[in-house]
Structure 1
Amino acid sequence: MAIALALYSRNVLLSLFGGVFLGLFLLQDFSFFATLDATLSLFISLLSEAWIGKTLVFAVLVGSVMELIERSGGINGFVEYMTQKSKLVASPRSALMVSYIIGVVIFIESSITSLIAGAVGRPLCDKEGVPHAKLAYICDSTSAPISSLIVLNGWGALLLGLIATQIDSGLISGESVDWLIKSVVYNFYAISALIVTFLVIWFNIDIGPMKAALPSNSHARLMFNKSAPMHYMIMPIIVMIVSVFVFLYLTGNGNILKGSGSSSIFYTMLTTLGFMYILYVMKGKMSTKIYLLSSFKGAKKLFGIAMILLFAFAIGKVTLQLHTGLYLASLASNNLSPYLLAAVIFLLSSIISFSTGTSWGTFSIMIPIAVPMAVGLDANVSLAIGAVISGGVFGDHCSPISDTTIISSLASDCEVIEHVKTQLPYALISGVVAIILFIVFAIFA
């Protein structure tokens, strides 16, 4: 219901609330008043969870950071340097390629990857007349795929834990790190998505709804501000990148893989805002009053995005209570051919991830199912785990209720539904390639 409403009405908040309410209505045995009470209790419990609160504040503070960078004139200085002084960006291809490279290089946290790729790429795309929908596609198609391939991050920590559980159960033997490395090689969707995205940029391929996407008219507004040295934009972004590593290290007690993603991005934004105060106010670029007003203005712009994230978390909780993922997984038959097992696991993981809007939740549901299925059919276990990872990323990539979809839209200043519709054909191409590869490797590997 939530997905259908979102695609039909283009009102994401209403759609998510409709899905949440219907799910709770089923859980409360069709009692309207019990559903109202359960809905209120759900949102109170969500707001009381620290990691959710930090993630919501992060979304709002992103607006403050972006508004301050724009107000400082640093964006105009950066655009001027890239397009006029250095001539590094002189076409739509080069404007998008900057965001693509950033998305591939910064693999530590998918939210920060999308944010920085969007922040850097947006003014360049405005200058070159590139639609924000295409930038959102680049941000989304690099952040999660690269994070699921180079697993020196929270993704790796989760997957290691899930694989270790299977080792402890006696189903497989060996080290969880070895299993993860062998499985990541079979993450065909992520690999395919990165290659397809590069080709789309290089050959300027527009298919489906992307053909109708229009360039933003915001670059006229950006150019209204006087240019300032580009380090007013670059230095806060560098501080942001470094801070993520530092706080992952600190929250993980010396182990980046065990660091808290929600806490790290929250403290990163606070650190960045503090640094910007020193850079802009104490050096005389703007007054404290302008700094505070700009921060508030930017935060207000993204308050709606924070609400969408909250409702996305809510529907995730409801689908968990409904056992949506487990039900979908139970539809798979144990009488499958070993040659089709990986492809079926990929499709099943994709459906679960698309329906629930979470790749990590899909990993948690499907790895304990996929490993025993592979062992029972004497199939390639690493290929099965790789299919789970690929399917989780693919479904999450396509889903309008996914937090990574929402954050990529946020970073690129693109409507969520427009982003979903315009990137879906490209994601489906990568998905088809992944299915073919899973069948081929199941037969010949």
Structure 2
Amino acid sequence: MEASWTSIIPFLVVIPIAMITKQVLPGLLLGLLIGSYLISPSIIDGMETMLHYLVQALIDENNIKIIVFLYVFSGLIGMIKSTGGIKGFVETASERITSKKQALFMTYISTIGTFSAPTFRFVTIAPIMKALLKKVKMTTKELGFVIETTATPVIVLIPVATAFVGYMVSVIQISTEQIGGTIDPYTLFIQSIPFNFFAIVIILVGIYLSFFHPSHSDAPTEMDAEEEEDDWHDCHPAVSKDLPDKPWNLLIPIVLVISLTLFLTWWDGQSQGYSLFQAFVKANVLQAMVIALIMTTFLSVVLFMLQRFPLQQLLSSFINGGNELMSVIVLLSVVWGLSSVTDELGFSAFVTSYADWIPAMFITPLLFLFGCIVSYFIGSAWGTWGILMPLGISLSTVADVSMPLVIGAVFASGSFGAFASPLSDDTNTLANILDLEVMDYARFKLKPALIAATISTVLYTTITFVL
């Protein structure tokens, strides 16, 4: 496709608008609209072009599967909440933990069963730790930091059964399609995981501060002191006193969805004639995840109805849960549309023609640092990935830099914003549960986040020489 400088105009609009408004969607929509008018420069034709690309994105088979996965996953979590699964887990765990060491160990080990989404982690772990704050002898900010290092930084490294994996694979897919790539996007995602240096480093920093570093000497804030008298049941609707205590309503669905995902992934691969390890690599993982999730949802409904939960309540909580992710689905749809528009404008060809002057050794670290800045000011990992992944993959092709390395750097930069930004959902959700002032808490964790980002930058610069 012919290279045109106009192909970068949508991105020149998206990034500053997102940073100024602190919202991702307005910038993406304006970028899509401008790109559509560049293709069809008339009032009606431009709007029709924009609608065309949005519709094309939504009727793509893989995109539909991702939307179904996100909606059903969020709906299942909604049912688990309403049937007391999270409340029961929190009650049971809080009764058995009696020391700081046990509480911290519980925080880390519970990742095995609650890694599906950051908010899911927060509403299961934060209330437990909040109830035990006197026993663990930590300030509330330190507690929030430890919890948050086991949320998004862990989840972005897990290749199955999370709310993130479908989206992450999708942004790789739409970006590789722009350059005519034929590599399976899920394989690229797996290969990029070891290069998400920020997530890995911040997890290690969290472990160090949890188990090997003395508690900070600063006195608890006024919020910390007030928190001791609060009832942790009031910190989030998922652990409300009005809900029943049924921990198995959390554990059984989680075990089911993980087990079925692994089994169906293997089944799809072996049915194509591959051996055990190759079966997992060659399988249609997205389809296996969607089917496993749907099967788990049906089985969970049966489980809940056997406990005499009304079907109407289950349906209502499923729909309410699914609707909580509609904003993400809209965001994803616009990202898909914008990617198609910039591809039509010749974005990849432009980058290939005019960006080859950038020294290869600087591409990955600079992309990571730029992504950190963008994600910090917009507060969205998903938005950062959607904006920067097409640019990153195009640059990796131009400079002959390892594509998994660049993909890992883009994911790492978004992870930085999700962790450190005062605008991120993670920061605000956890601060709300723990009764922390958002900006105070964000400032507290910015220093370790910057340390991890600096280490990551050095690693990206070093690894470029090796690869």
Range class of TM-score, shorter chain: 0.5 to 0.7
Distance 1:237 1:425 in 2: 34
Which of residues 413, 433, 439 in structure 1 aligns to 2:455? 433
Distance 1:191 1:86 in 2: 28
**2:337 match:** 314
**Alpha carbons 1:363, 1:392 under 8 Å: kept:** yes
The 1:432/1:297 distance shift into structure 2, 3 A limit, reads same
Which of residues 268, 282, 285 in structure 1 aligns to 2:308? 285
1:357 is paired with a residue whose SS is helix
**Alpha carbons 1:114, 1:140 under 8 Å: kept:** no
**1:172 match:** none
Q: Deviations over 1:352-382 (max 9, x none)?
A: 89766278756753443343x7xxxxxxxxx
In the TM superposition, residue 53 of structure 1 has moved relative to its aligned partner by 1.4
**2:10 match:** none
Distance 1:390 1:213 in 2: 37
Which of residues 238, 251, 254 in structure 2 aligns to 1:234? 251
Q: Deviations over 1:95-122 (max 9, x none)?
A: 65346x43xxx9xxxxx9542x642442
**1:2 match:** 14
Which of residues 410, 414, 422 in structure 2 aligns to 1:392? 410
Which of residues 46, 50, 60 in structure 2 aligns to 1:49? 60
**Structure 1 residue 126 corresponds to structure 2 residue 127:** yes
**1:344 match:** 363
**2:40 match:** 28
Distance 2:300 2:76 in 1: 8
In the TM superposition, residue 348 of structure 1 has moved relative to its aligned partner by 3.9
The 1:346/1:310 distance shift into structure 2, 3 A limit, reads same
Which deviates the most, 307-316 or 132-141? 132-141
**1:256 match:** 280
The 1:363/1:5 distance shift into structure 2, 3 A limit, reads closer
Distance 1:233 1:270 in 2: 16
The 1:8/1:21 distance shift into structure 2, 3 A limit, reads same
TM-score by structure 1 length? 0.67
Structure 1 alignment gaps of length 5 or more: 107-111, 169-176, 374-383
The 1:56/1:228 distance shift into structure 2, 3 A limit, reads same
Which of residues 13, 18, 28 in structure 2 aligns to 1:16? 28
2:151 is paired with a residue whose SS is helix
Task: In structure 2, give the amino acid aligned to 1:246.
Answer: F
**Alpha carbons 1:141, 1:193 under 8 Å: kept:** yes
Task: In structure 1, give the amino acid aligned to 2:248.
Answer: H
The 1:128/1:345 distance shift into structure 2, 3 A limit, reads closer
In the TM superposition, residue 72 of structure 1 has moved relative to its aligned partner by 1.4
Task: In structure 1, give the amino acid aligned to 2:52.
Answer: S
**Alpha carbons 2:196, 2:411 under 8 Å: kept:** no
Task: In structure 1, give the amino acid aligned to 2:397.
Answer: P
The 1:270/1:335 distance shift into structure 2, 3 A limit, reads closer
**Alpha carbons 1:74, 1:233 under 8 Å: kept:** yes
Distance 1:324 1:356 in 2: 17
The 1:71/1:147 distance shift into structure 2, 3 A limit, reads closer
In the TM superposition, residue 39 of structure 1 has moved relative to its aligned partner by 0.9
1:229 is paired with a residue whose SS is coil
Distance 1:346 1:65 in 2: 39
Q: Deviations over 1:381-401 (max 9, x none)?
A: xxx56642442322443578x
**1:192 match:** 201
The 1:264/1:279 distance shift into structure 2, 3 A limit, reads same
The 1:344/1:312 distance shift into structure 2, 3 A limit, reads closer
Structure 2 alignment gaps of length 5 or more: 1-12, 131-139, 273-278, 375-383, 433-437
In the TM superposition, residue 276 of structure 1 has moved relative to its aligned partner by 0.7
The 1:4/1:69 distance shift into structure 2, 3 A limit, reads same
1:77 is paired with a residue whose SS is helix
The 1:387/1:65 distance shift into structure 2, 3 A limit, reads closer
The 1:295/1:320 distance shift into structure 2, 3 A limit, reads same
**1:357 match:** 386
Distance 2:260 2:74 in 1: 18
**Structure 1 residue 300 corresponds to structure 2 residue 323:** yes
**Structure 1 residue 245 corresponds to structure 2 residue 265:** no
Q: Deviations over 1:144-173 (max 9, x none)?
A: 34559xxxx9999x99xx9xx9xx9xxxxx
Which of residues 66, 70, 73 in structure 2 aligns to 1:62? 73
In the TM superposition, residue 125 of structure 1 has moved relative to its aligned partner by 0.8
Number of residue pairs matched?
A: 385
**Alpha carbons 1:244, 1:264 under 8 Å: kept:** yes
In the TM superposition, residue 220 of structure 1 has moved relative to its aligned partner by 5.8
**2:135 match:** none
Distance 2:338 2:417 in 1: 13
In the TM superposition, residue 310 of structure 1 has moved relative to its aligned partner by 2.0
Q: Deviations over 1:237-295 (max 9, x none)?
A: 011111222333344445222333432332232112111112111x2331223222322
State the superposition RMSD in angstroms.
4.9
**Structure 1 residue 368 corresponds to structure 2 residue 397:** yes
TM-score by structure 2 length? 0.64
Task: In structure 2, give the amino acid aligned to 1:97.
Answer: Y
Which of residues 297, 310, 331 in structure 2 aligns to 1:273? 297
In the TM superposition, residue 200 of structure 1 has moved relative to its aligned partner by 6.1
Task: In structure 1, give the amino acid aligned to 2:283.
Answer: G
Distance 1:16 1:83 in 2: 43
In the TM superposition, residue 36 of structure 1 has moved relative to its aligned partner by 0.3
1:285 is paired with a residue whose SS is coil
Distance 1:50 1:444 in 2: 38
Distance 2:447 2:403 in 1: 25
Distance 2:251 2:298 in 1: 15
**2:137 match:** none
